[in-house]
Amino acid sequence: MLASVAGAHNYLVLCNALKNKNLRSMSLQKTEHESFWVDLRRASFEQGFLQAGDINTRFLHAGSADNPPLILLHGTGGHAECFTRNLAAHAEYFDTWAIDMIGHGWTDKPDYDYEIEHYVEHLKAVLDALGFQRAHISGESLGGWVAARFALKYPSAVERLALNTTGGATMFPEVMKKIKESTRVAVENPTWETVKARLEWLMADNNVVTADLIACRQAIYQQAGFLQALEHILVLQDPEVRLRNNLSDEQWSSISHETLVLWTSHDPTASDTVGQRLAELIPNSRYELMQGCGHWPQFEDPATFNKIHLDFLRGGENN
């Protein structure tokens, strides 16, 4: 059951956050304001909520129901806005849904630890709520981890699979520590500067971090109860928990779907050798390396990402 939000209360929160901030104090070297609204100007889109099982789930949606469905999944601590620069391009060919996963964004945050199985079942509930028996699934970071596990558990529900700087294959203590520490600092004291620093860590070029993106993430972190939800999110950065949720080589090799493994030259979470190895393990995979990007290539270089991603999802250059 869908409930569209015409007034877009969440975006009013963003506007107020921007209005109350002295933008002259920002270190972003921008001569023009870069807005989500500019990103979405070519798309007829909606923001709303759907009931996925017992989880009230926020989404951004663009595209016709006559087109094949595509679900976009964000990373740890993320939200649907990480795909604002991709919705319009993908909506031309796909019924495109970017969701806030369980515990994230403005989706419900139940009081238990979120391991990959919880994200997988939430995704299944989203597909069921939308009436999709099968969809393309594309995930960035944590979203890729969820997408891979989902493809193994519900293979008939997945058309093509895209893994963008995916999680689920590494155990780097220094990266896990950085994610925990930087995120906790930003959530415990969500100032413009702490939130900005958390986002800048993701990007190869700090100037990619826009005022809209900072304000959006700040508003999410300022929600009542988000500090508690954060600890449920960060459980996957605990070595013991992460180990039992990671995919084994055998499991990666068992993914039978046509799969895009996309990595970047400056990913702060893992080198491109990780992506190359996953592409070698997954039988029907295609490997792409994007230059000059960090952990959010879909946002950092949307033109290149959209071209690669759409070409893969549509089945090749001639389709």
Q: pLDDT (tens digit, 9 = 90+) per residue, 182-193? A: 999 999 999 999
* 116-162 tens-digit pLDDT: 999 999 999 999 999 999 999 999 999 999 999 999 999 999 999 99
Residue 39, H or E segment: helix 36-39
Instruction: Calculate the average pLDDT of the chain.
Output: 91
- The answer to whether domain 13-39+71-90+132-313 has CATH 3.40.50.1820 is yes
17 or 305: which carries more pLDDT confidence?
Answer: 305
Q: How far is CA 127 from CA 96, 149, 208, 227, in A?
A: 12, 15, 32, 28
Residue 318 has pLDDT above 50, yes or no: no
Neighbouring residues of 311: CB distance < 8 A, sequence distance ≥ 6: 317
**Domain extent listing, the chain:** 13-39+71-90+132-313
How is 172-190 classified by DSSP, letter by letter? -HHHHHHHHHHHHHHHHS-
11 falls in which pLDDT band (50, 70, 90)? very low
Burial class for 239, CB neighbours closer than 10 Å (0-12, 13-18, 19+): exposed
256 or 19: which carries more pLDDT confidence?
Answer: 256
Q: How many other CB atoms sit within 10 Å of the CB of residue 51?
A: 15
Please say whether the beta carbons of 84 and 304 come within 8 A. no
Task: Output DSSP code: residue 236.
Answer: G
**What is this structure's pTM?**
0.90
Residue 33 has pLDDT above 80, yes or no: no
